[in-house]
Structure 1
Amino acid sequence: MTIRLDTVQGFGKDGLDATMKSFGAVSQSMQAIAAEAVDYSKKSFEQGTQVLEQILGAKSLDSALELQSNYIKASYESFIAQSNRMSELYADLAKQIYKPLEGVVGKLPTSPFAGQATS
């Protein structure tokens, strides 16, 4: 049994093209994910610094504890929202990686020797 060379070359070219498209999608998506993470970190740091300044300037222990409590609640809500956003970005990344490969996988024969005469 032999495998037709033109069939193998066609799958190789299609696979390479799909892989290159997939790598491009990964690059763009990872840049978006990194930018999102940097923005969240920057905002979180700025909010923490601002609240710390307010706590240090508080006139009573009760007001300082209230500021801290409000900050913790807001930070938790912000973290949950950011986690959801990052989950969406990673889900989109997975879809973009698979999309170019989907066409190649659909073209694969069920048997590598399909359509060939047996000896």
Structure 2
Amino acid sequence: MLQNFDDVQKLGKDGLDRTVKSLTAVTKGYQAITAEVVDYAKKSFEESSAAVEKFAAVKSLDKAIELQSTLVKSAYETAVARATKIGELYSDLAKEIYKPYEGVFGKAAAAK
């Protein structure tokens, strides 16, 4: 087990290093997720503004219904694509947070 003070000190330093690496991954991951959400909100606003302009130019009910269908389909596809992308970012974040602790958890599992 722990033979002396140096072993205890090294164990504490290793734990601190792992924690710092993990928290750095959290920060970078949330920055990437936030950037993606902000970009999505910006593009969604731009697309909504363009849709209002398109509706203003429509002359018949048939064309309005056709435009509405097209816009709903496009919005759905965009939302699914963005949700998938954000889900992948969260998955990558979880992996990055876990990386510094892989060796520790592997040793603990092997010891059982």
Both proteins in one fold, TM over 0.5: yes
Q: Distance in 2 between matches of 1:110 and 1:103?
A: 12
Does structure 2 conserve the Cα–Cα contact (< 8 Å) formed by 1:33 and 1:86?
yes
**In structure 2, do the counterparts of structure 1 residues 50 and 42 end up closer, same or farther at CA, with 3 Å as the change threshold?**
same
Q: Rg bigger for which structure?
A: 1
Would the alpha carbon gap of residues 100 and 3 (structure 1) be closer, same or farther in structure 2, given more than 3 Å must change? Answer: closer
Unaligned runs of 5+ in 1: 112-119
Q: What is the total number of aligned residue pairs between the two structures?
A: 110
Residue 90 of structure 2: aligned partner = 90
Q: Is the partner of 1:41 in helix, strand or coil?
A: helix
Unaligned runs of 5+ in 2: none
Taking structure 1 as reference, are residues 107 and 14 closer, same or farther at Cα in structure 2, changes over 3 Å only?
farther
**CA offsets per residue over residues 75-103 of structure 1, 9 Å max, x none?**
00111111110110000000000001212
Q: Residue in 2 aligned with 1:43?
A: 43
Report the Cα distance in structure 2 between the residues aligned to 1:3 and 1:28, rounded to whole angstroms: 35
- The 1:19–1:99 alpha-carbon spacing in structure 2 relative to 1, beyond 3 Å, is same
Contact 1:15 1:104 in 2 (8 A): no
Whole-angstrom distance in 2 between the partners of 1:36 and 1:68: 26
Greater share of helix: 2
Q: CA RMSD in A?
A: 2.1
Counterparts of 1:17 and 1:104, CA distance in 2: 13
Identity %: 52
1:18 aligns with 18
What's the TM-score once normalised by structure 1's chain length?
Answer: 0.82
Q: 1:104 to 1:13 in 2, by over 3 A?
A: farther
SS of equivalent residue, structure 2 residue 58: coil
AA partner of residue 99 (structure 1): K
